[in-house]
Chain A
């Protein structure tokens, strides 16, 4: 069964600090991996997308990496801000079709 596992489940950091969120998947065949940010009470919003041939993608202070060989991805947040407080969801798309497998998310809280 295709699975996407994220760690940690939750994380608290101080404003200005960096952090890294992890995503491991078993989806096969693989098409692409996307990171979403979901603010409380809102729908998810796409941050980055990476295909098999892309091993890093940046969006402002967000940098995602992908190791397709080990089936791992990470999302690195630099110089965190209070507005980064949200759930971050890793989503993997199956190759050859439209099926998406969603991770359960990492709940990030940035404090003063």
Chain B
């Protein structure tokens, strides 16, 4: 069955280190998204991509970067991890728009702790 996976599921790192979170989907969706989820906030968009070589900043993109070299993967990199980036990170993918009804399919999440 097609799916979306994230790795690692849990990560502890130190302030200042570079961290990369992986996201892989097998639906062949062009659209992929990264969100963070924190207490007291709804899911907030970090970066998104509408296809290979396409990347765009979301509302909370500072300190994060993404790259899209193929359809299946959208890795999220924290250039220099900060304690404020302690959060749960969700990757999502979505098929092409047809009437704006298409749902996003979320991965299981990565819980990141920055010490």
Chain A residues engaging chain B, CB cutoff 8 angstroms = 4, 31-32, 34, 41-46, 49, 51, 89, 91, 93, 98, 100-105
**List of B residues within 8 angstroms of A49 by Cβ:** 101, 103
Chain B residues engaging chain A, CB cutoff 8 angstroms = 40-45, 90, 92, 97, 100-101, 103-104, 106-109
Cβ-defined contact, A43 with B103, below 8 A: no
Cβ-defined contact, B108 with A43, below 8 A: yes
Q: Write the chain B residue with the least CB distance to A95.
A: B100
Cβ-defined contact, B100 with A100, below 8 A: no
Cβ-defined contact, B108 with A4, below 8 A: no
Which 3 A-B residue pairs are closest in the complex by CB-CB distance?
A: A43-B106, A102-B42, A46-B103
User: Beyond A51-B100, A103-B42: 19 further Cβ-contacts under 8 Å?
Assistant: A4-B42, A32-B100, A32-B101, A34-B103, A42-B108, A43-B106, A43-B108, A44-B43, A49-B101, A49-B103, A51-B101, A89-B42, A89-B43, A98-B97, A100-B104, A101-B42, A102-B43, A104-B40, A105-B42
